[in-house]
Amino acid sequence: MGNFWTRKIQPVAEMPGFPQELGPFAVARTPFAKGDFWIKSVGFQGGGSFPLMGNDVGTEWIMEKTVLERCVSARGNRHPHVQGRFSPRHQITLKQVYREAAKIPDEARTFVWSYPCDGWSWLVEKDTVAGSFLGCGGFVYLDKEYNIVATTTLMSPVGRQAGLFFSKPRQWNAEWTKALAKESRFQKVTIQGIQRGGARYFCWLKPGEFFLSSKKQPLVPHGGFAYLFHENLEDGTDPRDCYFAVLLEDTLIEKNSFLPGPYMMCGMPEETPFSLRDQMSPPADDADTTSVTL
């Protein structure tokens, strides 16, 4: 298993349609599973479990280096673990054909989005399925007992099957930014092609996301991604700020079962990672290490 999950794959650097469109994405399973994440509820004491959905404003998680060494080919030995953050948990809303395309197991009932983790670029090899989960993000699926039953990450579908589709960009409301920023749900963009399109922060919007402080609401019955094209989360705005809703149409999977592209070739892996670029600087104690261009 280790050789498969840590196999390096040439990443795709471009996403030429963004921000006029997002995706579609291929979905890849990762090796992370139950027991690999130590959960700490935000605003609650203790850890090891997810809170009830009504109380869930996001959870922090820690992954020990022993897991990284098993799944990711960790670099060096300065850091004993890696830390990340989950979005608030929500019930799965996709019907069966889309569950299969998104590689969601039958026993899964709820899910979260896992944001790019702190320090991923100087901790792990990025051009792997497991490295993509830590550096790009991914979905984590739970059964009715809150046990993690699967984890996936988003990858380029060039020449391969796409599993996650999105609407055209929709107008973003600055009031929504403030509400989400209070819960630390906007995180830095790491996908290089999206950075080149001007986006600086992104957020996973849970299905049916609703803001009590706003008269207008985003239309995301199955969730979606929001993107901000500025650095100021307090009161910044940009006319390009937008969101993309997960799109469900039965014809999409049939029409897009394989997407041709300039990178398609014999022997190409089923999914190809995106080129990633870390917008954060490494810790001070890593200042003498070799820089990593992502």
pLDDT (0 to 100) of residue 74:
54
Q: Establish if 242 belongs to a structural domain.
A: yes
pLDDT in tens, 178-216: 999 999 999 999 988 899 999 999 999 999 999 998 999
Is the pLDDT confidence value at 124 over 70?
no
- The whole-angstrom distance between residue 217's C-alpha and the CA centroid of its chain comes to 23
Between the alpha carbon of residue 177 and those of residues 182, 261, 271, the distances in Å are 9, 35, 32
Segment 264-279 mean pLDDT: 51
Domain contains 2: no
Structural domain boundaries, residue 145: 15-263
Q: Which residue has the tokens 């592209």?
A: 261
SS3 content of the chain, % helix, strand, coil (to 5): 20, 25, 55
Cα–Cα distance list, 4 to 43, 90, 222 (Å) = 38, 31, 31
Asked whether residue 222 is domain-assigned, the answer is: yes
CA 81 to chain centroid, in Å, comes to 19
Domain count, the chain: 1
Range scoring the smallest mean pLDDT among 155-169, 209-223, 232-246: 155-169
Q: Give the range with max mean pLDDT: 169-173, 210-214, 268-272.
A: 169-173
Establish if 273 belongs to a structural domain.
no
Would you place residue 79 in the very low, low, confident or very high pLDDT band (cuts 50, 70, 90)?
low
Instruction: Report pLDDT for 131.
Output: 84
Query: What are the structure tokens assigned to 97, written together?
Result: 């054909």
- Taking the C-alpha atoms of residue 276 and residue 269, their distance in angstroms, rounded to an integer, is 18
Residue burial 9-48, b: 16+ Cβ < 10 Å; e: rest? bebbebbeebbeebbbbbbbbbbbeeebbebbbbeeeeee
The neighbour count for residue 244, using CB atoms within 10 Å, is 22
